[in-house]
Structure 1
Amino acid sequence: MSTNIDKIKCTQIKNAAVSVKNEVMEMIAKVRERKGRLDLPIVSGKHLRKISERTALQSADNAEKFITTRKIDNFESLAKFTADKEQRYQELETVHLSKGQKLSRLKELSKMYALFAPIQATYKESQSLKGFSKMKYDKEHKDSLSKYPELKERMQSLLQNGEKITPKQWKAEIQSLQSEYDSIGKEQTKTATELAYAEVISYNKKNLERALQNESRQHNKQQSRTKRREEEI
């Protein structure tokens, strides 16, 4: 059932494209006729390299759907689409990196605190005792107490500008940031995929133009040879 629906949708997309002349769609159709699929710009494709599964990008059907659903009707609008998406991708990349750094730091703080907290509790308990009780407690917790100076120093080295130890706040911030980070990452992946499609289509345009020029030159050479033979006869 779903296969039939997909076929109907694909046909509708193609019919819509045919009703209005679209130079991008015409180029894709010519490449499909020649090769059956689109070539991938493995070397020059900056965003293509970010896509792990590239088979879908070679599909002429997918390329046509990409062009139609985004209402791209010529190569000029494709270039504008690419420029806009490239700018958006850069914005996403900057924000994603910033939030990722904050997230990493908060996770590092939380991880360090998880190590430091029980040792700190042992140290505070030791400080609250006196006399024989303290001696006995310190002896029983010798290993933990010996770690306190180092862990305290490591904990403090992670804190910035008089920052306080606030594990509950860190946890809440981590949850919030993680959600934002993941959301931005998804949009970034989607945008990279769109840019990869644009790269593939532009690459195939250049390849087709080059192939047609070569064929034209070969045809002209052949005509010249034929003409010379006729003149010699």
Structure 2
Amino acid sequence: MIYDGEKGDIISQYVAFTRIYNEQVRLHGRTREAVLETIRVCKDRDVLKEYLESREKEVVSIMMTLFDEEYILKTYIESERREAAEAAAEAAAEEAKQNAKQNARRIAGKLYQKGNSIEDIADILSISAKEVEEWLEGASR
């Protein structure tokens, strides 16, 4: 191998290896098949050929470990995002519920001031008369 920046030096071979690898991942996904096919294509094209022939098992092992670590990290991140989204949705739902209840209490108070009966208010708001009474008692304190 040549290390002087010319075509075919170690850096250009590594860049070629990376391009071939990315193409194989697009075709086969992050699988053992993609790794093996990358190595086969590289050896056929004389890209890092000596190194791959002498250390093929090691390269496969390292790349599969990287896949596993990447998969674990990706799964963890997705799980954290999902949990955060669920928590945010629950918090938003609870806040909306509290806002709706506050609004209903305010409306109940206004309706009562305008002379509506507790039963009519309960019917309008689709709640029990007892709950309307409790709201009105709490508002008068």
TM-score, structure 2 normalization: 0.48
Q: Which has the larger radius of gyration?
A: 2
